[in-house]
Structure 1
Amino acid sequence: MVKIEAIVRPGVLEDIKDGLSQHGIHGMTVAQVMGCGLQKGRKEVYRGTEYSINLLPKVKIEIVAVDNDVDGVIEVIIKAARTGEIGDGKIFISRIENAVRIRTGEKGDIAL
């Protein structure tokens, strides 16, 4: 099993959800987060004073998938999120040792 964490622009969330659904992936966790990277934020003026806003709104999507689905999930996310501009986001992939479905006690891939 693999955990895929994608941090992307908020505007692409629906496209990613639709693409994952078509790929047969329905389970995910989504959180609104703030972050900065190469995009470096922006400057705004409030009452004549300039402020630097370093943290920008992003969406973090977490998916745990079986090994066979990983490449497809990554392709769906890239296809939906890529604009070619700085700030498109990142995808992090890590191994998951085990999973347990609390309701039934099932373990491993079947718990997903």
Structure 2
Amino acid sequence: MKKIEAVIRPEKLEKVSEALLDKGHHAMTVTEVRGRGAQRGIALQFRGKEILVDLIPKVKIEIVTEDKNVDDIVDIIKTYAHTGKNGDGKIFVYDIEKCLTVRDE
């Protein structure tokens, strides 16, 4: 099994989520996060002054799945989260040693 973590733009979450659902990948955990990467933050104007916001709001999607689904899920995320600009996000894939369901004791 693998765990896929994707950090993407918040405005792309709905499209990514719908595309995953359409392909039968329904289980996910979504968390609002803040971070920075190559874009190093953004400059905003507030009352005539420039303010540097160095931690940008993002969304983290976490999916645990069978190995055979990884490439499909990664392709969906890359396709639907892409804008071509800095700040599109990152995708990480981890090995999962064990996955237990709490309900099953």
TM-score class normalised by the smaller sequence? over 0.9
Of 24-33 and 36-45, the range deviating more from structure 2: 36-45
For structure 1, the 5+ residue unaligned runs are 106-112
Partner of residue 76, structure 1: 76
Structure of higher RCO (CA pairs closer than 8 Å, 6+ residues apart): 2
Distance of 1:48 and 1:19 partners within structure 2 = 41
Q: What is the aligned-residue identity percentage? A: 46
**Secondary structure, in 3 states, of the residue corresponding to 2:104?**
coil
Distance of 1:48 and 1:89 partners within structure 2 = 30
Once the two structures are superposed, the pairs formed by residues 65-104 of structure 1 within 5 Å of their partners are 65-104=65-104
Partner of residue 108, structure 1: none
Instruction: Please give the TM-score of this superposition, normalised by the length of structure 1.
Output: 0.87
Structure 1: 4+ residue segments shifted above 2 A: 44-51
Instruction: Please give the TM-score of this superposition, normalised by the length of structure 2.
Output: 0.93
Partner of residue 16, structure 1: 16
**How much has 1:63 moved relative to structure 2?**
0.2
Distance of 1:85 and 1:51 partners within structure 2 = 21
For structure 2, the 5+ residue unaligned runs are none
Is 1:35 aligned to 2:35, yes or no? yes
Partner of residue 46, structure 1: 46
**Secondary structure, in 3 states, of the residue corresponding to 1:103?**
helix
Aligned CA RMSD, in angstroms, stands at: 1.2
**Residue identity in the other structure for 2:56:** L
Distance of 1:2 and 1:90 partners within structure 2 = 16
- CA offset digits 1:14-48 (Å, max 9, x no partner): 11111111111111000011111111112234345
